Amino acid sequence: MDVGGTFTDLVLHDAATGEIRVAKQPTTPSAPERGVLAAVDAAVPQDLLARCRHFVHGTTVGLNALLERRGATVGLITTAGFRDVLEIRRGDRDDPYDLFWTPPPPLVPRRLRLEVTERVAADGSVVRDLEPEDVRRAAEVFAAEGVDAVAIVLVNSYANPAHEARAAELLRQAGFAGPVSLSHEVSGEYREYERTCTTVVDAFVRHRMGPYLHNLDRELRARGFAGELLVTRSGGGALALAEAAARPFETILSGPVAGAAATARLAASLGLGTAVAADVGGTSFDTALIEDGRLPLLYQGEVVGLPLQSPWVDVRSVGAGGGSVAYADAGGLLRVGPRSAGADPGPACYQRGGTEPTVTDAALHLGMIPRGHISGGIELSEDTAARVLAPLAGPTGIDGVDAVAVGVVRIAAAHMAQAVRGVTVERGVDPRGAAVVAFGGAGPVFGCLLADELDVDTVVVPPNAGNFSAVGLVQADIVRSAARTMVRPLDDEALPLVERVTETLFERLAQPGAVREVDLDLRHRGQEHTLTIPVRLGEDDPAAVSARFSEAYHRAFGHTLPDPLEIVTVRATSRVVLDADRPMVPAPPSGEGGRGTTRLWSFRRGAWTEAPVVRREDLDGVAEGPLLVVEPTATTYVDAGFAVEAHESGCLMITRKDRP
């Protein structure tokens, strides 16, 4: 179950019978669980729900809490002298060319950031004991201010957490009953600002995330569900309900990551060396670079200017989705996004109260979306789409509604292509050698346009393209991870010490039948930043780890250095594979009769054309564009100069026949 900005997508896969059910329902932003339950009620009978072993959920509740600044009232307890770390930040600008740039305000106002006397050194030794009375005074302030949750972040607690644990105990003794987030449990890594911010975010979103998940679980149980509710992580995989509620910061980007994970599995199964995930939803365009079937995993992300020390699949998002609003700026230029019509009211052509022109309105006017009904019982209105697009012609000087619609779609495609360049060209990867995997409700509509923008020869449209992120959830493993900063040289004594540290971490991450994975953050001595390298404890020696680091360093920077290496952080991951044999989920039949032909705009020809409309399951052999391929959750637009055929995997393979 994937909750997007416009639609909530469901995929049910019965591994025993091979049965597939899909559903799309409009997202309900004010109460996301209503859209989730509506999709369940529409597609899953009670007896089938009762047999489900896992309900895997990608959610935007935590992300929305940050975007809207609607979370808990958080109090912060920190070491004396570190009260203002959230405002000092790193002292740099996110945009160095914006003279008026201001950092986002901290989640905790200064009056609720309280200091306590204590000091732990970087080696874990206690320099000054914790003063209990300081914690008690903080508890009195929090009670008077109506604080909902408390974050405790004491300097160097990653090396020795005793003072944080004692502060939490004293806080409880003083009568505080709300959630308490401890930095050594949330992060366990050095870098004071990032660790403080991560712990505060955890406390801030837990207030909304916990009740939401427990309410959803209760409603599912009432409908007969007896399995396990899982929530996907920003770093891939899924967490059990209790852990997701206790560590909500790990789920901030759980939705977009599922599509990237599904793309990685698909790319590996098809033997695609390099693939680009192109997820076009109603609100945003999300993209990630997949190389050799591997997710691009980072260990620090950022949301609305707030850093998070958490495993993080590198998914880039821009405001270029089906609901992105088109407008004329003050200079008379046509613009698209990032503002979106979202799910409520949605694009004007949905006839649900929207009055502004969007990308979906333009695509409908150009015939790129079949006329009639779409998923969720929404009936599209061509007349409404044309009516809201027409006013853009005057201020922009564009001649007619057709040209306005073409401009809107082209600008949206250009925004998407620029985001793709951010994950390819900016990393030294030539996108022309990649395959674009187009999915999301509008992804297959833009596949050929993206191919032309990026000069790519191959576009892959997976089965259930409109619900492909939900397919990624069906394929998820249960994953738990932890990290501990341990700065020391990479020498003969290092790996035995790493092994002892990881044993301690894996005790926290214990799961029956789990596969253990260990990574090290390494750098050359004297450097500031690191590269994360996988390690096989018991098999690797320092020379093998060093060689692996040098290879990664050369790939990233184009050269190597002779300087000795040092370990910075030890990372442990515990992974339980839910189903070792998880084939690609095939698309169900559309259940609709043949549609004949439609009036369609060809961007390659720059003209209207009469083009065939083909059901996905009826596609036989190679069909040349322009044409539309329809299925229950998405429409694939194939322009002139491209050909499409059904692959044995169930994917649609679109290949370029000539260049424009």
Give one DSSP letter per residue of 425-445, joined into a string. Answer: GGGT--GGGSEEEEESSSHHH
Nearest to 19 by CA among 389, 379, 474: 474
Task: Encode pLDDT of 281-297 as tens digits.
Answer: 888 899 999 998 888 88
Q: Would you place residue 581 in the very low, low, confident or very high pLDDT band (cuts 50, 70, 90)?
A: low
Compute, in degrees rounded to 10, the torsion defined by CA atoms 535, 538, 543, 549: 0
Task: Return the higher-pLDDT residue of 141 and 579.
Answer: 141
- Whole-angstrom CA distances from 364 to 136, 190, 409, 612, 617 are 62, 51, 10, 16, 23
Choose the weakest-confidence range: 65-69, 221-225, 350-354, 440-444: 65-69
Strand 306-308 with 301-303, pairing: antiparallel
290 three-class SS: strand
Alpha-carbon distance of 39 to 42, in angstroms, equals: 5
Q: Which of 147, 143, 149 is nearest to 211 (CA)?
A: 149
Number of neighbouring beta carbons within 10 Å of residue 560:
12
Tokens representing residue 569 in the block? 């952080």
Q: Which two tokens stand for residue 155?
A: 């300097």
What's the pLDDT at 254? 78
Two tokens at 412? 């949206």
In whole numbers, what is the pLDDT of the chain averaged over residues?
Answer: 90
396 phi and psi angles, rounded to 5 deg: -90, -15
Q: At what angle are helices 61-68 and 192-222 packed, to 10 degrees?
A: 130
Please give the Cα distance from 128 to 125 (Å, whole number): 9
Residue 652: which of 363, 362, 423, 448 has the closest Cα? 448
Copy the structure tokens of residue 29. 């932003």
Collect all residues with Cβ–Cβ distance below 8 Å to 341 and sequence separation of at least 6. Answer: 323, 324, 325, 347, 348, 354, 356, 358
Question: What letter represents residue 113's amino acid?
Answer: R
Q: Vertex 495, ends 490 and 499: CA angle to 5°?
A: 145
CA of 579: how far to CAs of 262, 360, 478, 582, 592, in Å? 15, 37, 11, 6, 33
- In the block, residue with structure tokens 């990479």: 490
Strand pairing partners for 518?
A: 535, 572
Q: What is the rounded distance in angstroms from the CA atom of residue 498 to the CA atom of residue 568?
A: 11
Q: What are phi and psi of 34, to 5 degrees?
A: -65, -40
Q: How confident is the model at residue 582 (pLDDT cuts 50, 70, 90)?
A: low
pLDDT recorded at residue 640: 96
Which residues have a Cβ under 8 Å from the Cβ of 10 and sit 6 or more positions away?
1, 21, 22, 23, 24, 25, 39, 40, 43, 44, 467, 470
Structure token pair of residue 545 = 């780890």
Q: What is the pLDDT of residues 120-172, one digit of tens each?
A: 999 999 999 999 999 999 999 999 999 999 999 999 999 999 999 999 999 99
Residues 350, 29: Cα–Cα separation, whole Å: 17
In terms of Cα–Cα distance, which of 499, 540, 548 is closest to 522? 548
- 401, 608 Cβ separation under 8 angstroms: no
Residue 310: band (very low, low, confident or very high) from pLDDT cuts 50, 70, 90? confident
Alpha helices in 274-381 (DSSP H): 359-365
End-to-end CA distance of the chain: give it in Å, rounded: 39
pLDDT at 584 over 60: no
Q: Are 156 and 120 in contact (CB under 8 A)?
A: yes
Whether the pLDDT of residue 378 is over 90: the answer is no
Separation between Cα atoms, residue 48 and residue 551, nearest integer Å: 50
> Cα separations (Å) of 574 from 506, 507, 538?
7, 10, 17
Q: Return the pLDDT at 443.
A: 94
Lowest-pLDDT choice from 132-146, 230-244, 598-612: 230-244
Using CA atoms, how far apart are residues 519 and 537, in angstroms rounded to an integer?
10
Contact 285, 321 (CB under 8 A): yes
Nearest to 463 by CA among 628, 652, 271: 652
Whether 592 shows a pLDDT value over 60: the answer reads no
Two tokens at 450?
């993206």
pTM of the model: 0.85
User: What is the Cα–Cα distance from 592 to 589, expressed in whole angstroms?
Assistant: 8
Helices (H), 314-358: none
What residue type is 243 in one-letter code? E
- CA-CA distance, 429 to 423, in Å (whole number)? 8
Spatial distance between the Cα atoms of 510 and 499, rounded to a whole number of angstroms: 16
Cα angle, residue 588 at apex, residues 587 and 594 outer, rounded to 5° = 105
Query: pLDDT tens across 634-650, in order?
Result: 899 999 999 999 998 88
The mean per-residue pLDDT over the stretch 591-615 comes to 86
